[in-house]
Structure 1
Amino acid sequence: MKQRNRHALTHLSFLSCYITKNLQVTKHWVYALLDPQSDSCFLSETTMNKILARGSIVNLKLSTMLDEKIITSKKIDGLVVKDMDGVTNINLPSVYTREVIPASHSQIPKPETIRQWPHLKKVAEKLYPYQSDAEIGLLIGLNCTRALKPRDVIPGNENDPYAVQAALGWGVIGMMHNPNDDSMNNYNCRLVSADERRCHFAYKTQAKEINPVQLKKMFEVDFNERSSEEKVSIEDKRFLTKVSDGIHQRDDGHFEIPLPFKDDNINLPNNKILAVKRLARLKSKMIKDSQYKADYIAFMNDIVDKGFAEKIPADEDSQVEGRIWYIPHHGVYHAKKPRKIRVVFDCSAEYHGEVLNHHLLQGPDLTNNLTGVLCRFRQEPIAFTCDIEGMFHQVGVDSKDRDYLRFLWWEHGKLDQEPIEFRMTVHLFGATSSPGCANFALKASADLYEDEYGTAAAEFVRKDFYVDDGLKSVASPSEAIHLIESSKLLCKRGGFRLHKYISNSKEVIESISPSERAKGIQNIDLHCNELPIERTLGVQWCVELDTFQFRIELKDKPFTRRGILSTVSSVFDPLGLVAPLILTGKRILQELIRDGADWDDAIPADIKVRWERWRAELLLLSKLNIPRCYKPTDFGKLKMAELHHFCDASQTG
C-alpha cells in the first residue's frame, strides 16, 4: 500500500464532524480534512477508539515529497460519512489509522474571518462555529472521489480566497487576511481551508493483513545526537498531561502512574485463550529444561514476594468486558550472564487485531543522551558509576489499570496444579510506555527533593543517568562521597534504590557498604587487589588504570556483503573513539553497495584482500587504552592549562 501525502499548496478543505457507531449520534466532535493529493483515507487512532472501531494490522509504504518509509497502521472497512442534515451518506473505502492527522487548527479559518470577504459572506453563514477542542480526526483522499468532487465554485477576484461546494458542504481555500489591510503582518502565511458542515461515521466490518519485517539503514550512527530543541508531538504532550495529572506518591515513597492510554474508553476483546495457549508452550519448555524451569520459578516467586505482582482479589474477580487483557510471558537469558533470567511480558502479543502496546502512549524520549552522559563522565578525575535496582518495578501502576496487566501462572510454581490469574502492580519491562513512566518518576524525585538533598544530587539524577545506569565524575573523593550519599537518600525518598557502586578511587569505595558495591568488588581487598574492568553503558572501563578499552570478539562470517555488515556493526563505539578505523570497513561496504553486490554474493578478490587486512587490524583494538578523563594528571598544577581539539573534512568519510 502506497500513500502519496504531498501537502504542498494543494486544495485542502476541512469539515466539522461528529462521530457515531451504528448511526447513533454522539457528542464527540472532529474535523475531517479533504485532500485530493492523498491516495487513501486516514483516521486518527483517537477517533478510531471513540467510535469503538477495530481493524487489522497492516504496513503502509508512505511516500512524501521528502521521504519514503514504512509505517504500521490498522485497516478499517465499513465507515460512513454523513453530513449534518443527514441528507448525504458516503461510504468510505478502506481507511487506515495514524496517530494523528498531519494538519493544524491554524489552517481552519473561522466564520468571522471569512465574513471579511464580501463574496464569501453567504458561505460563512453556512459554516458551524469553530470548535477549538475538536480533533482533526479524518483525512479523505482521492480514492473517495464522491466526497471531493466540486459541485459549485465561488471564485472571487484574481487573488482572493475561493469557496468550493462538495457533497458534504462548502470549503474555503486560499490565503486569509483582512482585505482592507495591505500590511504583511496581517497575513496568515499558511494554506487554509474550511468546511464546517458536520458528518458522522458508522463502523461495519474489518479485514486482516500480514505485517512484514524491515531492514534499517546504519551509516549515520556515529556521533548521532538528539537535538535539545526537538519539538514535542501532540501525542507526547498527551502523555505528559496524563502522567502529570495521574502521578501520586504512596506512603512507602514509591510513585504510582496510570497506564497512559491513547484513549480512555479502551475496549479490548477477551484474549485469555491466547494466554492459555502460550502458557501451555511455556510449560512444555520448562518440563524439558529443568534449569530453565528453576530459574523461571525463582523469578516469578520473587516478583510476587516483593509485591510487584498479586493474585486477583476475590472481590475483583468478575470480568469487566473490554477492560481486561492477559499478557503472555517468556524467559530470556542475558548473553553475558548465562544464569540470569529475565521474564519478559509480551505486551506486543496480538489477538483479533488488538495489541496492548498499540493503545499505550510511548511519550517523549526522556532518556538522557548517551553521548552526553559519557562525555560528562570524562570531565573530572574522580569517577563512579551506580545502578537503580529494578527501575521499572519501582514505579507502581494505578489500581484501576492493573486488570490490563493480568497474566496466568502457577501459584508457587507448582506446575501440577491449575494456573491461576495474577496481575502486575508495577510498570512492565515490555510495555511501550514503561521507559517514559519510569524516567518521569525518577525526574519527579529530583524535582520534589532537590531542596532537601541539594542541587548537585538532583542534577546528577536528572542529567547523568542513562535509563538505570548512573555515571558521574567530580573533582575530589570527598565530593564524590558526599554526592553518593545525598543522591542515595534523594532516590530512596522516591522509591528508588541505588546500588552496584564502583569508583576509580579506593577512598570512595571504602565509604560505600560492601552490599551496595558492584559484584566484582564486594569481597576484594582494596589494598592488595586491583580493581576490575567494568562494562559501563557498553563501554569497557578498566577501573584500575582509569582507561577505556575495547574487547573485540570477531566471529567467523562469510566473505559477503552480509558478513561484512555484521562485522562492521559489531564494534560498539558510542563516543566515536575509533571511528577513523571503523570508517575503512564502512568504505569497503559502501563500495560493494555501489557496485551492486547482492547480500550473499562472494566479494571480489581485490576487495577480499583489503577486507582481511582491515579485519586483522581490528583485533589490535584490544591493546588500545584511552584515558577516561580528558585532563592530564598534572592539569591543575599547570600555570596555563589548555585543552585543544582538531577536526578535518574528508571526501570519503
Structure 2
Amino acid sequence: MRVAEAQLCFNCLSRGHQARFCRRNTFCSVTDCGRRHHPLVHSERRSEQSEVGGAPAATVATAATAAISPNRRPIAFSMLKATLMGHNGMSREALVFVDPGSDVTLVSSKLRKALQLKKGRSVSVPLSTVGGEKRTVATEIEGRKLTNELTGAQWTIVKDRYPHLRDLPLQDVGGEPDLLLGLDHVELLAPREVRMGRQGEPIAEKNLLGWAAKGPIVGRASSPAGIADSQGTVSVHFLMAEEEHRLAHRFFNGEALGTEVKPQPLWSNEDQVVLGHLEKNIQKLDGQPGYMVKLPWRPQVEQLGSNLPQAEQRWMRLRQRLSRDSRFKEHYEGAIQRILTEGFAREIYTYDPSEKPLEGDPRLESGQFFLPHQGVYKNERREKLRVVFDASAQTCGLSLNKVLFCGPKLQTEVTHVLTRFREFKVAFRSDIQDMFARIHLHPQDAKKHRFLFQKMGEKLIRVYQMDRLTFGDGPSPCVAIATLRRTARDFGTKGSLAVESIEENFYVDDWLESVATLDVAESLAKEVDEILKQGNFQLTKWLSNDGRFSRMEANADRRDAVLGVFWDNLGGGSSQGLPDGGGFQSSLRVILTAKKPSWMLVWEKVGSCDNANSNLILRTCLC
C-alpha cells in the first residue's frame, strides 16, 4: 500500500497529519535530494511529483568496481588519524582514507553530525596536520557511509617485522573512514618522504598529515598482525539504476540473513580496556542479590562541568508539552512514580528556580550532572511509556556519553539466536524485566545521573538521582550483558546447559531457547531462573509452543512477537506442525514473519521428526 493511500505523513510515516504540518525537522538523506520527506519513501514521493505534472525524474545510476584475487595476501590501505575541527570549536579524531583515485574529498554524515556542521552539499573542515599546521579542507557531504570497512593493520605491532618501518610513528588503523581525502587536495597527499623495503613489502609515505603505511602484509586475523583475513572474490564491474540497485540490495541481504561467515571479533585496545575495567568493577552486593558497577569513564570526565541551566531549559520545554497533552502527562507522571516506587531513583533535594543559589546550596555541589529526559511510547497505541535519559546532551562541547567508553558489542547475533530458538521440538521464551535497572550504580557515578521533575502546580523543582544503570548511557548494553554473564559464572555450574544458554541464547534481555523434550524445558527454565535471581534479574512473560509448559501465563498471547517478528506458535506440542512419526519426512513451514512484512524466515527440516540431530535450514523469502 502506498503512503498516500494509507494517509500517512510523508515525513515521519505517522497518521493524523500531513508532512507540511509535521513537527519533525528532518530531510531526505538520499544523495542530491534534501527534500522534506522520509528517505524510505524517496522513490514514491518522486514518482508522485512526476505524475502531477512535474518533470520526469532522471534515472540515477551507480557504478562500482571491486577486485580481490583468491589466495592473495591482504592489502592494507593508506589510512591515518587526524584531528578535525568544527567551526564552533568542537574537535574529533577522525580516520582519514588517502584515496589518490578520487577526484573529490568527502566527509561522512556521521562526522558532520559529530562536529555539528551545517547541512549542505559542501562544507569546509579545519584539519590539523602532524606539524601543528592548520589547513581548511573543502569537502562534500556524503549522505551514506563513504565505503565499507577497509583493511588496515595494527602497525604498532606489524612494523617490527619490517626494518624500514620500525622507527616510524605509525598508528593502528582500519574500519570505516570518516574522511575520504581526494586529489582536489593534492597538496595534502603529496609525499614528503618515502620508506621502501624489499619487493612485496609495505611502504610508508609521509605527507602533511603524518606517516601512513600501505601495501601487502604477511599474516592472518588471528596473528599479531591484527588484520582482517582476505576473502577471495571475483572481479566485478557493474552499472545499475538506483531502483534496481535498491531491489537487488534488498534481495541479497535477505538471501544472506543468518548465513554470513563472520570472523571472531577482534577487540580494539579501547574495547579491551573496557572489558578489563568491567571484570574488576562489577561487584556482588553484600547481603542482597544483585551487582554494583563502576562505569568506564574517559579521562575527560574531569572536564565535565555543571549543566543545571541547560537541564532546566530542557525541563521547561518538556513541562510545556505535559501541560498541553493530558494523556501524555498522566503516563509520564506514572512512569516517574514507578521509577521511584521500584527504588530505581530517589529524591535528593528540592529548590526554588526563581532564587539564585548561595553558598551551601546543594545546586553548587561538585560532581553532579543532570540528564534531560523524554517520554517514548513502546507501541503505536500509546499505552506504555518509557522515560529515556538523554546522555548525549552537550554542555561546553561535552556530554555524558562523550566521557564514557561505550564498550564492545557483546550481544549474540539475532539470527543465531532465532535459529537456535527453532532447532528443537519444544521452544520457549522469556525476558528480563527492567534489565538495566536491576544493576546498581556506584554512588559517585549515580551523582552524574541526576534529573529534574516537577508536578503541575508545584513551585519547587525536585532533583532526583538514578541509582541504577540508565537507559540512554552508551555503555549500558555492554555493562548489562557483562553483568548477566558474570551472574552465570558466579552462580551456575561451569559447562552446564544453563550457563551455556545464558551466554549464547540471550539477545540483551530476551531469552529464546529450544530443547528436545518438555521435561528438559521445565528443568532448564527452573535452573536459569534460580541463577538469574541471584543477580536480581527477574524473568517474566513466559511463552512456549507447548501448552503444557508450567511457567506459561494463563492469558499469554500464543501468537506473540519475538525480537521484532511474529512467532506463530499455535502448532502445539508437535513443534510447529511437523508431522509425527519416525519415518523420513520433509516439511517446509513459515515460522517467523516481519511485523511490516517484507521478508519471512522459513524453517525446513529434513529427516526423522523425532531426531534432534536432523538437518535444519533457515531460509529467507521476500514477500
Q: Which moved more, 1:485-494 or 1:537-546?
A: 537-546
Q: Out of 525, 533, 541, which is 2:568 matched to?
A: 541
* Structure 1 residues 326 and 218: CA distance shift in structure 2, 3 A: farther
Work out which of the residue numbers 261, 264, 276 in structure 2 matches 1:241: 276
Answer yes or no: is 1:231 the counterpart of 2:270: no
| Superposed displacement of residue 536, structure 1 | 2.4
CA distance in structure 1 between the aligned counterparts of 2:435 and 2:289, rounded to whole angstroms? 14
Residue 43 of structure 1 and its aligned partner are, at CA, apart by 3.1
What residue number does 1:635 align with?
A: 609
Displacement, 1:404? 2.6
**What's the offset of the Cα at 1:572?**
6.1
1:442 aligns with 2:492: no
Is 1:105–2:139 an aligned residue pair? no
Cα 1:463/1:249, change in 2 over 3 Å:
same
What RMSD, in angstroms, separates the aligned Cα atoms of the two structures? 5.7
What whole-Å deviation, never above 9, does each CA across 1:72-96 have from its counterpart, x for those lacking one?
A: 365599887787xxxxx64455799
Task: State the match for 1:335 in structure 2.
Answer: 379
Query: SS where residue 532 of structure 2 aligns?
Result: helix
Deviation at 1:465, TM superposition (A): 1.9
Distance in 1 (CA, whole Å) between partners of 2:91 and 2:482 is 32
Matched, 1:403 2:447: yes
CA distance in 1, matches of 2:570, 2:619: 32
- Match in the other structure for 1:55: 90
Partner residue, 1:520: 555
Whole-angstrom CA distance in 1 between matches of 2:435 and 2:376: 18
Q: 1:228-274, CA deviations, whole angstroms, 9 ceiling, x for partnerless residues? A: 53332413323322222321121222222222334464523433223
Equivalence for 1:356: 400
Partner of 1:255: 291
- CA-to-partner distance for each residue in 1:391-441, whole Å, 9 max, x for gaps? 11112222222233221112xx45423212222112222222211111111
Q: Please show how residues 474-553 of structure 1 align to structure 2 within 5 Å.
A: 474-509=515-550, 512=551, 517-518=552-553, 520-521=555-556, 532-537=558-563, 538-543=565-570, 545=572
Matched, 1:419 2:461: yes
State the match for 1:599 in structure 2: none
Cα distance, 1:271–1:350 mapped onto 2, change above 3 Å? same
Q: Which residue of structure 1 lines up, in the alignment, with residue 332 of structure 2?
A: 296
Match of 1:394 in 2: 438
Task: Provide the C-alpha distance between the structure 1 equivalents of 2:209 and 2:543, rounded to a whole number of angstroms.
Answer: 68
Q: Deviations over 1:543-570 (max 9, x none)?
A: 4646779xxxxxxxxxxxxxxxxx9992
Cα displacement (A) at 1:131? 11
Judged with a 3 Å threshold, the aligned counterparts in structure 2 of structure 1 residues 432 and 220 are, in CA distance, closer, same or farther, namely farther
Q: How does 1:243-322 map to 2 (within 5 A)?
A: 243-251=278-286, 252-263=288-299, 265-312=301-348, 317=362, 319=364
What letter corresponds to residue 365 of structure 1 in structure 2? Answer: K
Q: Tell me if 1:464 matches 2:500.
A: no
Asked if the contact 2:546–2:572 (Cα under 8 Å) also holds between the matched residues in 1, the reply is: no
State the Cα distance separating 1:359 from its structure 2 match. 3.7
Any idea what SS the aligned residue of 1:401 has? helix
- Distance between the aligned counterparts of 1:245 and 1:520, measured in 2? 43
SS of the counterpart of 1:331?
A: strand
Choose from 43, 53, 59 the match for 2:83. Answer: 43
Mapped pair 1:366 → 2:414: no
Deviation at 1:490, TM superposition (A): 0.2
Instruction: Give deviations 1:121-145, integer Å, cap 9, x for gaps.
Output: xxx9xx69x9999xxxx99989999
Q: Is the 8 A contact 1:57 1:75 kept in 2?
A: yes
Q: How many angstroms does 1:442 deviate by?
A: 0.8
Residues 302 and 36 of structure 1, relative CA distance in 2, 3 Å threshold: closer
**Structure 2 counterpart SS, 1:451:** coil
Amino acid at match of 1:224: L
SS at match of 1:312: strand
- The aligned runs of 1:139-158 (5 Å cut-off) are none
Could you tell me how far 1:489 is from its partner in structure 2? 0.7
Give, in whole Å, the separation in 1 of the partners of 2:192 and 2:613. Answer: 74
**AA at the equivalent of 1:470:** W
Deviation at 1:105, TM superposition (A): 3.5
Conserved 8 A contact 2:545-2:558: no
Q: Distance in 1 between matches of 2:201 and 2:376?
A: 65
Q: Over residues 296-321 of structure 1, what are the superposed CA-to-partner deviations in whole Å (9 max), with x where a residue is unaligned?
A: 11211121222211233799946466
Partner Cα separation in structure 1 for residue 126 and residue 476 of structure 2: 34
- Indicate conservation of the 8 Å contact 1:151/1:166, yes or no: yes
- Alignment partners' CA distance in 1, 2:446 and 2:136: 37
Q: Distance in 2 between matches of 1:276 and 1:424?
A: 17
- Match in the other structure for 2:7: none
Match of 2:493 in 1: 451
C-alpha distance in 1 between matches for 2:92 and 2:83:
14
Aligned to 2:596: 570
* Percentage of identical aligned residues: 24
- In structure 2, stretches of 5+ residues that fail to align are 1-30, 32-75, 117-124, 140-148, 173-177, 218-224, 228-245, 351-359, 578-592
Classify 1:571/1:62 alpha carbon distance in 2 versus 1 (closer, same or farther; 3 Å). Answer: farther
Asked if the contact 1:539/1:572 (under 8 Å) is kept, the reply is no
Paired residue secondary structure (2:427): strand
Task: Compute the displacement of 1:343 (Å).
Answer: 1.2
Deviation at 1:149, TM superposition (A): 7.3
* Greater share of residues in helix: 1
AA in 1 matched with 2:438:
Q
- Aligned-residue offset at 1:390: 0.6
For structure 1, the residue ranges without an aligned partner over 5 or more in a row are: 3-34, 84-88, 116-123, 178-187, 191-214, 522-530, 550-566, 578-628
Contact 2:155–2:170, Cα closer than 8 Å, also in 1: no
Q: 1:492 to 1:369 in 2, by over 3 A?
A: same
Matched residues in 2 for 1:172 and 1:58: separation? 16
**CA contact 1:402–1:423 (8 Å) conserved in 2:** yes
- Residues 487 and 535 in structure 2, CA contact (< 8 A), matched pair in contact too: yes
Secondary structure, counterpart of 1:232 in structure 2: coil
Amino acid at match of 1:311: E
Q: 1:299 to 1:63 in 2, by over 3 A?
A: farther
Cα distance in 1, alignment partners of residues 570 and 337 from structure 2: 36
Asked whether the 8 Å contact 1:383–1:504 carries over to 2, the reply is yes
Amino acid at match of 1:43: T
CA contact (8 A) 1:327 1:349 kept: yes
Cα distance, 1:308–1:473 mapped onto 2, change above 3 Å: same
- 1: distance between equivalents of 2:526 and 2:434? 20
- One-letter identity of the residue aligned with 2:473: A
Structure 1 counterpart of 2:529, one-letter code: K
Counterpart residue number, 2:429:
385
Query: CA 1:447–1:111 in 2, change beyond 3 Å: closer, same or farther?
Result: closer
Partner of 1:433: 475
Change (3 A) 1:94 1:485: same
Partner residue, 1:594: none
Q: Secondary structure at the match of 2:601?
A: coil
Superposition TM-score, scaled by structure 2 size:
0.59
